[in-house]
Structure 1
Amino acid sequence: MKAYLFLTFAILSELLGTSMLKASDGFTKLYPSIATVISFGLAFYLLSLSLQHIPLGTAYAIWSGAGTAITAIVGVVIWKETVSVTTVAGILLIIAGVVILNLKVASQSG
């Protein structure tokens, strides 16, 4: 259970890092640039801790899938990026893939 907590915080750190990457304006703004590096460093560290108990494929699929889907939503809500049917379909497919992968893992461990 602790491993999934590490994974959750890894995802949140990656989301912050991605948002700060956008705010850094190509690493031309100091504080968002520093926040980007720290956030991604923390995200990878927390991901590595989660890998002590979660299989690599599962952890990475959750981390990257959730990060991608939520980052797309953050892009629309915070950065006012446009959303299209393909964007929504892509996000839903990512979420479905993560759910299916987790169902497979849960059925193998039970």
Structure 2
Amino acid sequence: MLPLLNVPQAWSVLAVAIVFEVAGTTCLRLSEGLSRLWPSLLIFAFYGVSFSLNAMVVRTLGVGVVYAVWSGVGTVLTALIGYLWFKEPATALKLVSAGLIVMGVFGLHASSRSVA
């Protein structure tokens, strides 16, 4: 059985889960369509760790907040990796959209603090 976390622990574990999710998504790009062995295997390992950590966190913070923050922060970090590492274009619309995601994540975090 997974341990029950307090609220600060849950946010910390969620942050680690996000890092593993971003690593898995980055490996998607590095796998070149699952044609490279190690990045392909790492996709599943990183996502497996991320989902396991999320399973611990949802017991404390709730699935709606956890999934929204996990996917939102993961999306923004993955976009930054795309811009900086893979030299993908960072258009004004993409940057504004990422900013809106960040604002939404802060709002969800604030709302969960007032409930917990």
Return the TM-score normalized by structure 1: 0.94
Structure 2 stretches lacking a partner, 5+ long: 1-7
Do structure 1's residue 72 and structure 2's residue 79 form an aligned pair? yes
Equivalents in 1 of 2:15, 2:110: separation in Å? Answer: 18
Do structure 1's residue 56 and structure 2's residue 80 form an aligned pair? no
Do structure 1's residue 105 and structure 2's residue 106 form an aligned pair? no
The aligned residue for residue 94 of structure 2 is 87
Do structure 1's residue 19 and structure 2's residue 2 form an aligned pair? no
Equivalents in 2 of 1:55, 1:77: separation in Å? Answer: 33
The aligned residue for residue 28 of structure 1 is 35
Equivalents in 1 of 2:24, 2:103: separation in Å? Answer: 24
Say which SS state the counterpart of residue 51 (structure 1) adopts: helix
> How far off its partner does 1:104 sit?
1.9
The aligned residue for residue 40 of structure 1 is 47
Structure 1 stretches lacking a partner, 5+ long: none
**How many residue pairs are counted as aligned between the two chains?**
109
Equivalents in 2 of 1:102, 1:5: separation in Å? Answer: 13
Equivalents in 2 of 1:68, 1:30: separation in Å? Answer: 24
Equivalents in 1 of 2:44, 2:112: separation in Å? Answer: 32
Moved over 6 A (4+): none
Return the TM-score normalized by structure 2: 0.89
> How far off its partner does 1:36 sit?
0.7
What root-mean-square deviation, in Å, do the aligned CA atoms of Structure 1 and Structure 2 show?
1.0
- Percent identity over the alignment is 32
Of 5, 10, 21 in structure 2, the residue corresponding to residue 3 of structure 1 is 10
8 A Cα contact 2:61 2:112, kept in partner: no
